[in-house]
Structure 1
Amino acid sequence: DDEEEEDGEEEEDEEEEEEPTLKYSRLEGSAAQIFSKDTASAIAVCEKYIIVGSHNGMIFVLSPEGRLLNRFRPHSATINDLSIDSTGEYVGSASMDGLVSIQSLVSTENHTFDMRRPMRCIALDPNYVKRNTRQFVSGGMAGSLVLSEKGWLGQKDVTLYSGEGPIWAAEWRGTLIAWASDAGVRIYDTATSHRITYISRSDNSPRADLFKCTLRWQDDRTLLIAWADVIKVASVREREAKRSVPGLPSTTELYVEVTAILQVDCMISGIASYGPKGDLLVLAYTTEEDYDDETAGDRDAQRRKSANRPELRIISRDGEELSSDAISLRNYARFQCRDYSLEPTPARDGFLVVSPEDIVVAETRDEADHIAWLIETQRYDEALKEIERTEEGAGRGFDVTDVGKKYLDHLVGLGRYDKAASECPRILGINAKLWENWVFLFAEKGKLDTIIPYVPTHDPTLSRLVYEMILAHFLRHDPEALLKTTRSWPIDIYDIGAVTVAIRNQIEREPKSGTLMRAISELYLRNRQPGKALPYFLKLRDPHAFVLVRDYNLFTDIQDQALQLIEFDEELRRDGREKEVLEATSPHGIAIDLLVDHTHSIPIPRVISQLQDHRKYLYMYLDALFDKDAHLAFDYSDLQVDLYAEFKPEKLMDFLRASNYYSLERAYQICEARDLVPEMVFLLGRMGDNKRALTLIIERLGDVQRAIDFAREQNDTDLWEDLLKYCETKPRFIRGLLENVGVDVDPIRLIRRIQNGLEIPGLKPALIKILQDFQLQISLMDGCKSILYGDCRNLALSLHSGQTGGFLWT
């Protein structure tokens, strides 16, 4: 909330403070030296020179930079007006001493004319140099505007107008001359030698001697008139002449139309055109009192008014004030409205504001000034954008890093750490030293979390201390961020050994922190130490532990972790996650597969010693070994018999048949304890105790076929006799024997043993089958006999033929 309030206040301040349109500087060079001894009373400007007239009658010629080029004194009193021709070679001056002087600026040529009354204005013909007539107009307290020119017999003066009081100002542009008298402003056309207009002064205007009239030609046909607090814009236009001579082509005449009249709240000391839109630049003079009594005759009372600093105001043609700047001129409170002047400077696209003791240069602000103002007003973000946009132009003179540092300091001062951090990449760039300084600053402020997302890991790479400090911060406050960072950061930018030690120590304090274990295992993997990462994978119950073992050949590392691997695998199988990583090749799981497939790296005795107290896992391991190779675990055959009998009796027989390494007696005891009769029969047979075995089959299993098969396998006559004897009183066994022992036992032998009166179910079909089998046997024997005789005959004939036949000898 506090930050939002600060942002709101900052935005309000930015809205209130507007960027000035103009920039200001004092004219350098010799101006200060001149004003230390004299005061300015008039000024004229061209592309080459700045001409200053003084109250002592001196004319100073300055360069546009203010360096004094020349000085001369054509007058003995105040110079009221100066005028320069269009080439900048001649300057004319009008003085209170009644003289008008025209001085060459490139030679010693000088012309002085005595008008015998104080002169207020002068205007040279713009083409003064080009024309032989050397015309100029002048006027003053005599009340006449005089056009002077060079004639055949000397200087020729023609009065253009008189009778309306002193001539206060005159301006010549092209063929048009404008002048101001007490009555108003008139314009004279030298091409037609006619006055073309009269523009009267406003009613109730203040005294003309106190508030001078300023005339300024905006262009060849537009005249700006500023007098007291009124501005008028007069446009010279053409129209068809009212008096035309019949029979001759129609002619045109000039007339003037006042296109704008503006009333302002100040007195005007100077006026000029400003900008492409034709706005007006006004030098405004104000005092602490109103001007209601300006027409009063008490001149001393008017002079005693305390003046404010003069202002430069930009006013649109509609009268709207666009900007206003107060100008700091020396001793401004002592001067009156008529003491100031405003003069355009074509060479510098600016304006000169002149007071008796000072000259200030006002220039249109460029992009560099705009950037400087943004920096000054602490709008650093905008300043940086402008510098980047104009880096090949105005922005070249600014140090992006220096401005950026100020911007960051400003944001930190406002407590806007998030914004400051987000701007660091743009401002600090690839300067590693600056990055380190700012990271440490954020750390001191307790805002390290804010800048961490922007800290670079390359271009530039910072010192290891910075990265280790960040990792230590995460280790204490945000383990999840630590894990994410260890996965994304290159490991060569910090001391991975020191970091892993720190994490390991933290794990000792927080042994159940899975995030820290994942982080340290990630670091071990990235540092090519998978063996050290494996224990943490197992503690985390991460299925990728098996991939880790397989891909990095970590079989020697898991020699003592067989139990943990199997237990973990069993958990995965219970949760249905056993196929997330690897596919098991045996029914006992991935862990058993790894142990069995790499017995060269994981010795069998070592595994069995770990599984000794976990018989189920021991069975699974030995069973997998047996499936792979029945001879791998021959030393543990007796143990296998016990484990098969306990966990998978159906597979015990296969083991007993395949292995020769177990103890028959011990195996028999185990089977007897668990009442595994088929296995007991097999073991008794292996031990040679066929009679006991047969007794078990008959008495416990009651399986005729198995008894027959057992007797057939042993191929023992006594065993058959025992079988026949046992079956004498058992009708079901008699029938079974009759049906299955036709080849191994003579059926007559069995039939003779049948007691009279013994009822044997199915006897008749059994006897029929015996007879049929016997008949089939006789038939087969006859057939075999016939085949044998036939083969013997063919072979005998072939032998005889071979022995008695002849052969060809070559």
Structure 2
Amino acid sequence: MEENGDHENVLSDPFDPEFDDSHNDTINTDEEEPPLEPRFKYERLKGEDTMTFMKTATFTSIDLHDKFIAVGTATGLIYILDHNGYGDFNSVPPLKPHRCAVSKVKFDETGSYVLSCANDSKLVVSGVGNDKLCCTVNIQVMPKSVYFAPDFIRQQSGHCFIMGERNLMLYEKKLFQYKAMTLYSGSERDGFIHCCSWNDNFIAFTNDTGTRVYERGPEKIITSVQASHDVDRVRSSRSPPKHMWMPDNNLVIGWADTVTILKIRDDHGVRRGEVHHIFHVSMFICGISYIPESIGKHMELFLVGLQLEGEDFDDCASMISTVTTLTAMESSATPILKTCVIRPLGLKEYELQSEDVIENIRLSHHTLPYMIHGLGIPYLDTYFILTTKQIILAVPYGPVDNIKWKLKYKLYEEAFETAKIYADLLAKTELSQKKVGRLIIEGYLDGKRARAAAYWLPKICGESKEEWEWAVDKFEEAKVCTLLAEVLPDVKPTLDAASYEKVLLACLFNNPELFRRLVQTWSPDLYMTNTIIDRTQWRIQQISKSGEIKDIEKTEKILLESLAHLYLYERKYESALKILMSCQDRQIFNVIDKHQLFDLVKDQITDLMHIDSELALRLLLNNADSVEPSFVMEKIGRQPKLQLAYLTKLMSRNEGMEFADKAVQLYAEYEPRKLLPFLRKNANYNVNKARKLCADKKMVEETIYLLAKCGNHYDAVKMMVREYGNIEKVIAYCKDQNDPDLWIHLLGVVAEFPSHFSQLIIEASNCLDPLLIMDKLPIDVDIPNLSEALEKLLTDYTNHAELKQCCYESQLADVTALSKGLLSSAARATEVNMFTKCSLCDQIINNSTHETGKKFTEIKVFKCGHIFHMSCTSSESFKADRRQSIEEGICIACSDKMDKNNV
């Protein structure tokens, strides 16, 4: 079993002057976790005030119909009332079928008749506005239970009903009287049948040995369920069983502290019962019903019961140990009337959905379970509880009750969701979605949970301007307006300026950083900037004078930056720039760019450089038209590093070439690594000055580069040899120059360094005559690896000579082969046969005359295979240059083809 807590539900008393319907519930403030949510509220019937008998009568039994309530009393009267407790006794007067207390009363399915029994040994069928089937059956025993057949009123049905005492008897009308038939015979030890019920063809009845189900038709008992509690201790006369039939032939049996759910199954025409659930609850069951929406997988049962005050038990074992006999309930312990909604889970497990304790009812210390009756009409969501003096109506919680309870236990999220779901229904009530939202916000603020309240504002206020402004006022009263900064909308809706000003001023005095962020992000159209400027200035002065803040400088800087933005909104640019400059705020550059304020700060370039040199340089370059480079260089004359940075940016845009010499000087002084790339990239500096500067600073690579740039390769090579000590770089330099004289000069220089001469011999062998190299060999100097170098030199020279000779011979052979081919081609004959045609007129060469009668005499034959009539080339339409080409031995057909291919 799973339980989460109890809920005490105070019965509403409209006649109590202190009664307030809005406070139905009491809570235990010591509990951190709220109790289970109630499912019902409890109230007396409205007719209690006008029906005088209800104030004096002692009620003993009750039954429900979807139209009426039948209430039996200790005086033998039966009152027929509507569901509100009103009765029309002129039309349907109180029935008086018995001379003693009415034990049981039952409606038929149509509500036309009432069946009752009492200890006067009578079974009485009384009519409700109908007397056709009214009758009285005298018996020899005192009946304990009665029930109508489902088709009692139908003709030809026999108008049957059943009665339970020790035996279960069926009474069927035969002509003018009822005939009794015994369906079950019980012995004395079996006890009385205190409960019986009839559904379809199934009759269920319970005595001390258990519950049996009898099937009409086969006329036999199809199943039996034994009691799971100690019947000897909990006698049926004091805690009688209760039956309830649910759809699909499900029978629920409530007896003592046990609930049993039995399902009648049909296996190929054979009916049998199966116990699906059997479990114990912590009270003596006095009534049972179900929640109609829960039928199926999540079935829920509504139970009414009694429990002794201070005696809390969870199962049957603890109940037996606490209450040894039911007579103990007649002690000084006060009985408690309870209801609960449970959901069966497994065979012996259930989940408690809600649990209510009904207070403010008159229960004596001698109240026993058989004196309480609970039953309902599930499909009408109507449930009644009968005590000896009162009739209580259990009404399911509506949206209003549900929201009130959730608000009471601070279940704000659930309350608001319920209000949203039933927004249309609750629109004109005191718990509309709008009012519930306000109650939630006030609840959080009263509970010192302002952050939670702020979190809920967007959901509750939505796009309602009125609600947002109300919330701002509430947060201001609670002095937590700073929390609104994250949630307050600036569009959809846009609030009055006063709302935004309240938040800004709260942040100004309590959270300067948040104030600055709001000033920077909120549109100035949302509030009166003049008001905020005045308050900000006053706050800065106050901080400076009072010294109330630990980090005064930091706070002042934050507020000054905020003030600068406010000045910008007011277009007071000079004041804003002055503040940003004094605060060394890098945002000044964005402000200058955005509002085109460079003219206001061009005289303060040095100060801008101190704030951020990179951004300052970018600013200067973007506004190059507004300020001359010479002016900038003059302003930052005492800051060479800034000059260098400025010139670097300037020259990257191919500007400021007049400061090239100055750039060389600054690079050499402060960025020597970048000097050589600058020298190579730029050509506007004085080479000689740069060379002298680099030489004075002993910058070898730069000096060598500048020497080479001046054309002084000899000195460059000499310096490279002496400074580098690495002959490979020198050799590479000489190869780039491709100057034989430079190689000779290099040989002379390297002669002073014998260790490099051997390598130079090898490298220069491809560029100089070996004899010239040999001539430059130093005399009387020990040169390492000389023999190997000379051997390599001679080998390379020999290979070079052989390669040259081979190339000459190969070229000569190629010329010879081509000449022979040309001569052979020239000696080849050109075939002329009877089908050969002129390449100009396309007529056969051997024809003596043309179609026009023109005679052909001479022909011109080319080695390419083209043949021409000379008479065709001498015609007036033939161009002179083409005729000249043929006479000179040039085939014009091949020439035309070649020209066409070129095109």
TM-score norm. by structure 1 comes to 0.59
Partners of 2:602 and 2:627 within 8 A in 1: no
Q: 2:351 maps to which residue?
A: 322
Q: Is 1:283 aligned to residue 314 of structure 2?
A: no
Structure 1 residues 62 and 477: alpha-carbon distance in aligned structure 2, compared to 1, 3 A threshold:
closer
Q: 1:568 maps to which residue?
A: 604
Whole-Å Cα distance in 1 between the matches of residues 483 and 329 of structure 2? 65
Identity across the alignment (%)? 21
Partners of 2:399 and 2:419 within 8 A in 1: no
1:268 aligns to what SS in structure 2?
Answer: strand
Structure 1 residues 467 and 273: alpha-carbon distance in aligned structure 2, compared to 1, 3 A threshold:
closer
1:87 aligns to what SS in structure 2?
Answer: coil
Deviation at 1:338, TM superposition (A): 0.8
Q: 2:252 aligns with which of 197, 220, 224?
A: 224
Whole-Å Cα distance in 2 between the matches of residues 591 and 551 of structure 1? 24
Q: Which amino acid aligns with 2:337?
A: P
1:175-574 matched pairs, under 5 angstroms = 175-181=201-207, 184-196=210-222, 204=232, 206-219=234-247, 221-238=249-266, 254-256=271-273, 262=279, 266-273=283-290, 275-276=294-295, 277-278=298-299, 280-287=301-308, 303-304=330-331, 306-313=333-340, 314=342, 316=344, 318-323=347-352, 324-328=355-359, 330-333=361-364, 334-362=366-394, 370-388=402-420, 391=423, 398-429=431-462, 435-436=468-469, 438-439=471-472, 442-443=475-476, 445-475=478-508, 480-503=513-536, 516=559, 518-530=561-573, 533=576, 567-572=603-608
Q: 1:24 aligns with which of 41, 52, 59?
A: 41
Q: 1:44 maps to which residue?
A: 63
Q: 1:135 maps to which residue?
A: 159
1:82-93 matched pairs, under 5 angstroms = 82-93=105-116
Q: 1:583 aligns with which of 623, 631, 637?
A: 623
Whole-Å Cα distance in 2 between the matches of residues 180 and 131 of structure 1? 30
Deviation at 1:155, TM superposition (A): 3.3
2:359 aligns to what SS in structure 1?
Answer: coil
CA deviations over 1:756-784 (Å, ceiling 9, x no partner): xxxxxxxxxxxxxxxxxxxxxxxxxxxxx
Structure 1 residues 329 and 120: alpha-carbon distance in aligned structure 2, compared to 1, 3 A threshold:
farther
Partners of 2:194 and 2:206 within 8 A in 1: yes
Whole-Å Cα distance in 2 between the matches of residues 230 and 552 of structure 1? 84
1:709-728 matched pairs, under 5 angstroms = none
Deviation at 1:568, TM superposition (A): 0.7
Q: 1:627 maps to which residue?
A: none
Whole-Å Cα distance in 1 between the matches of residues 284 and 587 of structure 2? 89
Partners of 1:457 and 1:493 within 8 A in 2: yes
Whole-Å Cα distance in 1 between the matches of residues 514 and 262 of structure 2? 75
Whole-Å Cα distance in 1 between the matches of residues 410 and 627 of structure 2? 74
Whole-Å Cα distance in 2 between the matches of residues 222 and 388 of structure 1? 37
Deviation at 1:122, TM superposition (A): 1.7
Partners of 2:290 and 2:378 within 8 A in 1: no
Moved more, 532-541 or 125-134: 532-541
Whole-Å Cα distance in 2 between the matches of residues 239 and 566 of structure 1? 102
Q: 1:79 aligns with which of 99, 102, 106?
A: 102
Q: Which amino acid aligns with 1:415?
A: K
Deviation at 1:237, TM superposition (A): 4.5
Q: 1:691 maps to which residue?
A: none
Structure 1 residues 27 and 50: alpha-carbon distance in aligned structure 2, compared to 1, 3 A threshold:
farther
Q: Which amino acid aligns with 2:153?
A: V
Structure 1 residues 385 and 13: alpha-carbon distance in aligned structure 2, compared to 1, 3 A threshold:
farther
Whole-Å Cα distance in 1 between the matches of residues 226 and 580 of structure 2? 101
Partners of 1:216 and 1:271 within 8 A in 2: yes
Structure 1 residues 140 and 292: alpha-carbon distance in aligned structure 2, compared to 1, 3 A threshold:
farther
Structure 1 residues 583 and 382: alpha-carbon distance in aligned structure 2, compared to 1, 3 A threshold:
same
Deviation at 1:464, TM superposition (A): 4.0
CA deviations over 1:614-660 (Å, ceiling 9, x no partner): 9xxxxxxxxxxxxxxxxxxxxxxxxxxxxxxxxxxxxxxxxxxxxxx
Deviation at 1:101, TM superposition (A): 2.5
Structure 1 residues 449 and 222: alpha-carbon distance in aligned structure 2, compared to 1, 3 A threshold:
closer
1:72 aligns to what SS in structure 2?
Answer: coil
Asked which structure has the greater CA Rg, the reply is 1
Structure 1 residues 391 and 309: alpha-carbon distance in aligned structure 2, compared to 1, 3 A threshold:
same
Whole-Å Cα distance in 1 between the matches of residues 287 and 590 of structure 2? 90
Deviation at 1:458, TM superposition (A): 4.6
Deviation at 1:285, TM superposition (A): 2.9
CA deviations over 1:341-390 (Å, ceiling 9, x no partner): 22131342353222222233445657665544322211113322443456
Q: 1:173 aligns with which of 182, 188, 199?
A: 199
Partners of 1:205 and 1:228 within 8 A in 2: no
Q: Count how many residue pairs are aligned between Structure 1 and Structure 2.
A: 564
Whole-Å Cα distance in 1 between the matches of residues 301 and 581 of structure 2? 84
Whole-Å Cα distance in 2 between the matches of residues 346 and 62 of structure 1? 19
Partners of 1:222 and 1:234 within 8 A in 2: yes
1:119 aligns to what SS in structure 2?
Answer: coil
Structure 1 residues 535 and 88: alpha-carbon distance in aligned structure 2, compared to 1, 3 A threshold:
same
Q: Which amino acid aligns with 2:69?
A: I
Q: 2:81 aligns with which of 30, 48, 62?
A: 62
Q: Which amino acid aligns with 1:569?
A: I
Deviation at 1:205, TM superposition (A): 5.1
Deviation at 1:175, TM superposition (A): 1.8
Structure 1 residues 486 and 52: alpha-carbon distance in aligned structure 2, compared to 1, 3 A threshold:
same
Whole-Å Cα distance in 2 between the matches of residues 514 and 235 of structure 1? 80
Partners of 2:158 and 2:174 within 8 A in 1: no
Structure 1 residues 394 and 81: alpha-carbon distance in aligned structure 2, compared to 1, 3 A threshold:
farther
Q: Is 1:102 aligned to residue 141 of structure 2?
A: no
CA deviations over 1:710-754 (Å, ceiling 9, x no partner): xxxxxxxxxxxxxxxxxxxxxxxxxxxxxxxxxxxxxxxxxxxxx
Deviation at 1:191, TM superposition (A): 1.9
Deviation at 1:52, TM superposition (A): 2.0
Partners of 2:72 and 2:105 within 8 A in 1: yes
Whole-Å Cα distance in 2 between the matches of residues 182 and 549 of structure 1? 98
Q: 2:707 maps to which residue?
A: none
Q: 2:144 maps to which residue?
A: 120
Whole-Å Cα distance in 2 between the matches of residues 194 and 478 of structure 1? 85
Moved more, 97-106 or 545-554: 545-554
Whole-Å Cα distance in 1 between the matches of residues 405 and 223 of structure 2? 46
Whole-Å Cα distance in 2 between the matches of residues 86 and 111 of structure 1? 15
CA deviations over 1:691-726 (Å, ceiling 9, x no partner): xxxxxxxxxxxxxxxxxxxxxxxxxxxxxxxxxxxx
Q: Which amino acid aligns with 1:213?
A: P
1:146 aligns to what SS in structure 2?
Answer: strand
CA deviations over 1:290-346 (Å, ceiling 9, x no partner): 7679998xx987745645213334363533353243333722234211111221313
Partners of 1:368 and 1:395 within 8 A in 2: no
1:155 aligns to what SS in structure 2?
Answer: strand
2:335 aligns to what SS in structure 1?
Answer: coil
Partners of 1:148 and 1:158 within 8 A in 2: yes
CA deviations over 1:496-543 (Å, ceiling 9, x no partner): 334334445667787996655554443344334556656656767889
Whole-Å Cα distance in 2 between the matches of residues 292 and 507 of structure 1? 77
Partners of 2:63 and 2:106 within 8 A in 1: yes
Q: Which runs of 5+ in 1 are unaligned?
A: 1-9, 241-251, 594-610, 615-810
Structure 1 residues 422 and 294: alpha-carbon distance in aligned structure 2, compared to 1, 3 A threshold:
closer
Q: Which runs of 5+ in 2 are unaligned?
A: 1-26, 312-318, 546-552, 638-903
